[in-house]
Structure 1
Amino acid sequence: MKNDLALIMALPNESKGLFEQAQIAVHYSGIGKINAAFTAYDVIQKTGCKTILNLGTAGSSFFNAHELVEVKTFVQRDMDVSPLGFEVGVTPMDTHFPHEIQLEPYFLDLPQGICGTGDSFETGQPKVSCNLVDMEGYALAKVCKKLNVRLISIKYITDGANDTAHLDWEENLLLGAQKLLKLYQSI
């Protein structure tokens, strides 16, 4: 599987240099949906990969800190056109893709989650139904679906998506990188 797989992470902070030390190529997207979409498209076009593995961090008030969670569904937590009569999370007039993008599970021994993606660092309860939050995943999923590339997304829970999330995120990055590297090496 690793022969046709490309690894995308948002930031070098999330790998702490461990992947590079292990001679593993990482494509860093930067923060947010636009950066993630551009990077996914670019990586798919340049590498011809059949699978993108997204490893990264997420906040959750549902899952325990330090837990690895495989995302089974991505939703947009910041798409809000409700004043025009659309449900929060639904992109108006987007007939090609539902507002929930389903992924095929790969790591059957990991808990499965619904990830709400948005261009904000979430510290409260999202307006859409989800049990973890990130800032890139939905965009990666949409590009992969459009280009018929499999996406596998594993998130390390760094924080409780609450008022101390920014402190917890930074403090837990090294342990997260270690756990994500071990998972990658098990593929």
Structure 2
Amino acid sequence: MNSDFALIMALPSESKGLFEQAGIQVHYSGIGKVNAAFKAFEVIQKTGCKTLLNLGTAGSSHFDAHALVEVSQFVQRDMDVSPLGFQVGVTPMDQEHPAEIELERYFEHLPNGICGTGDSFETGTSKVPCQLVDMEGYAIAKVCKKLGVRMLSVKYITDGANDTAHLDWEENLLLGAQKLLSLYQSVK
């Protein structure tokens, strides 16, 4: 990828050091929406990138484990102000940005889906319609929208977002890192 791109991932365990061994700079956000938003802002400000590429892991009961899926839209699965009359997933009083953040497709050969982001490790059915779940993507996408930076996102499905998700996630990290690195190198 050229210098207009910056790469962001949540954790070093998602890259297993493979990106660094290949000489690729990775910015790690840490877990959760607050950490992701802060790091995305910092990366955009420091690098001046025009595209922020988010690679990482996700759970899904829709897509098969080990699949690479391009995110076509991010939603918040844990924003719930429904007692005040708002739809689940909608941030009240935020008319500037819609609850659903659409992303441009770049990896046309990959399946695509809606990713629900939340500050919890999902092991059940999300409150908002989505096909995969993560813990950082929506926050990164919102920062990119606010700053006019294109965002692309591809997730490696590590688990079925069920009661064994935590075990499956750990077990599948190396294969995920290998597949994400291969994808990244194919578009250089």
TM over 0.5: yes
* Secondary structure, counterpart of 1:86 in structure 2: coil
Letter in 2 for 1:99: A
2 CA distance for matches of 1:103 and 1:66?
Answer: 22
Letter in 1 for 2:31: I
1 CA distance for matches of 2:181 and 2:112?
Answer: 19
Q: Aligned residue for 2:139?
A: 139
2 CA distance for matches of 1:185 and 1:2?
Answer: 11
* Secondary structure, counterpart of 2:34 in structure 1: helix
Aligned: 1:96 with 2:80? no
1 CA distance for matches of 2:183 and 2:109?
Answer: 12
**Given the two structures, how large is their TM-score scaled by the length of structure 1?**
0.99
Structure 1: give runs of 5+ residues left out of the alignment.
Answer: none
CA deviation after TM superposition for structure 1 residue 60, in Å: 0.1
CA deviation after TM superposition for structure 1 residue 3, in Å: 1.7
Q: Aligned residue for 1:65?
A: 65
Q: Aligned residue for 2:84?
A: 84
Cα offsets for 1:119-163 (capped at 9, x unmatched): 000000000000000000000000000000000000000000000
* Secondary structure, counterpart of 1:71 in structure 2: strand
Q: Aligned residue for 1:12?
A: 12
2 CA distance for matches of 1:124 and 1:50?
Answer: 36
Letter in 2 for 1:145: K
Q: Aligned residue for 2:180?
A: 180
Q: Aligned residue for 2:46?
A: 46
Letter in 2 for 1:76: Q
Letter in 1 for 2:146: K
2 CA distance for matches of 1:96 and 1:111?
Answer: 29
Letter in 2 for 1:98: P
- Matched positions, count: 187
**Given the two structures, how large is their TM-score scaled by the length of structure 2?**
0.99
Letter in 1 for 2:38: F
Structure 2: give runs of 5+ residues left out of the alignment.
Answer: none
CA deviation after TM superposition for structure 1 residue 2, in Å: 1.9
* Structure 1 residues 106-117: aligned runs within 5 Å: 106-117=106-117
* Secondary structure, counterpart of 2:83 in structure 1: helix
2 CA distance for matches of 1:176 and 1:81?
Answer: 35
